[in-house]
Amino acid sequence: WNGLLALNDGSLLVNPELLYIKGVQTMSLKLENKIALITGAGSGIGEAIARRFAQEGALVYVTDLDSASASRVAGEIIAEGGRAEAARQDVTDEKAWGTQLGEIIASQGALDVLVNNAGIAIPASVEDATLEDWRTTQAVNGESVFMGTRGAIAVMRERGGSIINISSIEGIVGEAMTAAYNYSKGGVRIFTKSAALACTRKGYPIRVNSVHPGFILTPLVQGALAGMPEGEAEEFVTRVTSAIPMGSMGEPLDIANGCLFLACDDSRYMTGSELVIDGGYTCH
């Protein structure tokens, strides 16, 4: 619908501005007029972040290795009344970072929020991991976060912004079957603090924080389970679920809401922080 909707209590819902007006009070959207880039946003957690940011007024750049999934997500956001652009972006490609950020600055004049979300998990213990899989994991999960953060700082340093790096609980605690993933996510955790300090030292109004999701049922987790030896996947799920104090895996929206908090001014005094969203998993 495109007009006004009068509610029983006298409130008025207004679309397309998406303002909620009651009497003289007006509540604005949390990311109104903000430009956000979310990598790996064609599925799972990245998709949920893109949808949530768009609901709060951001123009979201939905990028993914798979252009079809990026286009699907952007198309659905637009169909729901949001603003989105889709693009293929391989986060391991340094040139592609320059192209993507350049396009955003050329067409929008600014980037306010970057979410380094794209990631992979190739399950293997320290004894079983191959060097090839190890390097691929570090390139997608680690090097991309460095290139994205460096590129975003370059375009944000005058006007400011928020950079959100998706790490994991496995950047905090170890898991025998995910040696390369643990290494990459632990790197993202501490790199985030280094980048946060580099920005404050230079006086840039840029905040850099990491998010640490617990177990969220997405294609990444389903794929990792499918790659485990027979019997181990079931044992892994039973063990993990019983170790989550809140009793179940989380949903992508749980992570998207945390990212929204870090993206907007509600978290204006936070930088170099770790936002853990894990149903209590890392408490013990």
Binding site for ligand NAP (CB under 6 A): 39-40, 42-46, 64-66, 69, 89-92, 117-120, 140, 166, 168, 213, 215-216, 218-221
Q: Considering the complex, what minimum distance in angstroms separates the CB of residue 3 from ligand NAP?
A: 36
Q: Considering the complex, what minimum distance in angstroms separates the CB of residue 94 from ligand NAP?
A: 12
Q: Considering the complex, what minimum distance in angstroms separates the CB of residue 76 from ligand NAP?
A: 15
- Comparing CB distances to ligand NAP, the nearer of 65 and 206 is 65
Q: Considering the complex, what minimum distance in angstroms separates the CB of residue 44 from ligand NAP?
A: 2
- Comparing CB distances to ligand NAP, the nearer of 89 and 182 is 89
Q: Considering the complex, what minimum distance in angstroms separates the CB of residue 118 from ligand NAP?
A: 4
Task: From 149, 153, 191, select the one nearest 171 (Cα to Cα).
Answer: 191
Hey, what are 120's tokens? 């992979």
Q: Considering the complex, what minimum distance in angstroms separates the CB of residue 105 from ligand NAP?
A: 20
- Comparing CB distances to ligand NAP, the nearer of 14 and 237 is 237
Look at strands 83-88 and 113-116 and give their pairing.
unpaired
Look at strands 35-38 and 59-64 and give their pairing.
parallel
Task: From 190, 36, 180, select the one nearest 120 (Cα to Cα).
Answer: 180
- Comparing CB distances to ligand NAP, the nearer of 168 and 271 is 168
Hey, what are 204's tokens? 């840039």
- Estimate to the nearest angstrom the gap between the alpha carbon of 150 and the chain centroid: 17
Of 181, 183, 204, 269, the active-site residue reads 181
Compute the distance between CA of residue 148 and CA of residue 37 in angstroms, rounded to an integer. 10
Q: Is the dihedral of CA 223, 228, 230, 233 positive or negative?
A: negative
Compute the distance between CA of residue 281 and CA of residue 163 in angstroms, rounded to an integer. 25
Hey, what are 7's tokens? 């509610």
- Comparing CB distances to ligand NAP, the nearer of 112 and 278 is 278
- Comparing CB distances to ligand NAP, the nearer of 183 and 215 is 215
Q: Where are the beta strands (DSSP E) in the chain?
A: 4-6, 12-14, 19-22, 25-27, 35-38, 59-64, 83-88, 113-116, 161-166, 206-213, 274-277
Compute the distance between CA of residue 274 and CA of residue 173 in angstroms, rounded to an integer. 13
Task: From 182, 160, 145, select the one nearest 271 (Cα to Cα).
Answer: 160
Compute the distance between CA of residue 190 and CA of residue 143 in angstroms, rounded to an integer. 13
Is 181 known to be catalytic?
A: yes
The catalytic residue positions are 181
